[in-house]
Amino acid sequence: MANHLYKGDLPDGLDLGPVVAIDTETMGLHVGRDRLCLVQLSSGDGNAHLVQMPMPGKNGRMEAPNLARLLADPKVLKLFHFARFDIAVLLHHLGVVTAPVYCTKIASRLIRTYTDRHGLKDLLKEVTGVEISKQQQSSDWGASDLSPEQMAYAASDVLYLHALMTKLDVTLEREGRKHLAKAMFDFLPTRSELDLLGWTGDVFEH
């Protein structure tokens, strides 16, 4: 298992396969205010690819054409935990709509109705038996040099998502809710765009 760190974009010619786990690290949780600092990716092979993002240009956008191409590729499924936030961040900073997508948090909410613990740490421990640390969750992701601890934390958020998706899909199928999950995943890019435009509540409410 290795963590590969890149500056500014994914390298040319990198093929991560048909399903890519993705996560982001930002300076905070306000999409319009807080800069995107790091994008983590994994093909599920035990290796993580970490992209330190460039500073925004005069138009406020970041230029990472290889990453943007992957995010928009209709033949590649992008796998997230809490995709709603990450998709909004990537749309705001890169100007690209990420699709198609799968969200393990939504899958968890649809089938683990016996609990309100849907964070990645709790979900991984119960469903796959993997324990991860969240110690570096709140740290300076905008630093020019990331610590080994930060890199290990960032990698852990994507390394196990493929195995998690496989387990969740079995239960979604068993409970007859896979079609609901697919419909919600398809709606996520629109939900994220609504968030960016200010509709953060439930637009279906009376």
The continuous run of DSSP H or E covering 11 comes out as none
pLDDT of 136 higher than 60:
no
The one-letter code for the residue type at 72 is A
pLDDT of 137 higher than 70:
no
For residue 6, CA distances in Å to 10, 35, 39 come to 6, 18, 10
- 8 Cβ partners below 8 Å, 6+ apart? 51, 52, 53, 54, 64
- Give the pLDDT score at 59: 85
Spatial CA neighbour of 107 closest among 141, 83, 135: 83
Before 54, cis peptide (omega within 30)? no
> Which has more pLDDT, 204 or 165?
165
pLDDT of 1 higher than 90:
no
Q: Where are the alpha helices (DSSP H) in the chain?
A: 65-72, 83-94, 104-111, 120-127, 148-159, 161-174, 178-196
Task: Kindly report, residue by residue over 149-172, the tens digit of the pLDDT.
Answer: 999 999 999 999 999 999 999 999
Domains and CATH numbers, the chain: 3-196 (3.30.420.10)
DSSP assignment of 96-119: ----SEEEHHHHHHHH-TT-S--S
Task: Kindly report, residue by residue over 47-84, the tens digit of the pLDDT.
Answer: 999 999 998 888 889 999 999 999 999 999 999 999 99
Rounded to an integer, the average pLDDT of 24-46 is 94
Q: Is the separation of the CB atoms in 158 and 42 below 8 Å? A: yes
Rounded to an integer, the average pLDDT of 29-55 is 95
